[in-house]
Chains A and B, each alone.
Chain A
């Protein structure tokens, strides 16, 4: 990182560029570099999930096959050379100043959430999740608002981790009119309070929002959060997009404002709540348009549709957030359950999730 950060500063004539790249502040990059860094990050973090679709952003900004091969060589080479440096404990040459030589951790590389193997979890169906939600409210007495708060809080933590901290970051939260959007609005509030510069883009006119998300919308309005409805033209380019348009019940192809907002996410760093919008969880089918998330925070237990082969590239890195579902709820539905949240309320599901057998 230090060696090539220096080279990048020299070659680009921009001393701050390396820091921007390493910290994920990619709105400062031109579209070519943005596409290259996106490809490099995906191929490094989730190599087994890379597919033809990951080349689309490169082609969209004009890279031909030769350029893509060259980019792939550089990504592969640096993964190789990083293993040499870590594997043999290589240190920077003595000629580097002491402050550069000090060990440092980079925002892109932060993995501060505990990892849970995919096989330790029961992957549940959409019907089972609907039943979990119903029992939580009707039998346990944990309200939708409480679950939404937990979901949104976890989502905000994941967003802050992706950005190496929320303070000063530019974030656009896409909120749909249902429960998923409500979670996004909670995250928008927490990120705002943590010092981020947050804007909202609504997937439906405010009067179409369901009661609980509507209350969340009222709160962020009181806090003065800027809000967009309709055309995407005046949305600024953020460091991160939070996708809370559609939740686990979504069926069929997105349309209208929601489809427009999904298309707007193409090529932008995106974090999805529960499921990327446009991924129909009941069947594991990617509808058009759909969000291709860098990370997805799913809730309670992972849903089966998230690990369908077609879906995994759109899901990206998969995190699981606690919304305080007691074991008795799972017991009632006949779902085997051992809490994965012993180490904390937000965990990462090991990358092999996509290939693990169904329990």
Chain B
């Protein structure tokens, strides 16, 4: 259903590359992702990943 049309999508996870047809949205997504998952926060990296796992499991999202 999707293709990697943009060089910026190279090396990105499928989930990000999936919106390479809308380059601005893809770049904004990458920036948001890096900010909330890797940026400064009182939450540890593991705590943030635990939230990710909880939400994805509750949504029964395998990816």
Contacts and interface: CB of A to CB of B under 8 A. Distances in A.
A88 B18 contact: yes
A110 B2 CA distance: 28
B6 interface: no
Interface SS of B by simple majority = helix
Interface SS of A by simple majority = helix
Given A2-B63, A8-B49, A104-B62, A66 B57 contact: no
Interface residues of B, number: 34
Contacts of A92: 14, 62-63
B63 A29 contact: no
A45 B15 contact: no
Nearest to A111: B60
Interface in A84-106: 84-86, 88-93, 103-106
A3 B55 CA distance: 13
Nearest to A29: B50
Given A84-B18, A92-B63, A67 B42 contact: yes
12 contacts: A8-B49, A36-B54, A40-B54, A44-B55, A67-B43, A70-B41, A71-B43, A71-B51, A84-B15, A104-B62, A106-B56, A107-B57
Interface of A: 1-5, 7-8, 11-12, 17-18, 21-22, 29, 32-33, 36-37, 40-41, 44-45, 63-64, 66-67, 70-71, 73-75, 77-79, 81-82, 84-86, 88-93, 103-111
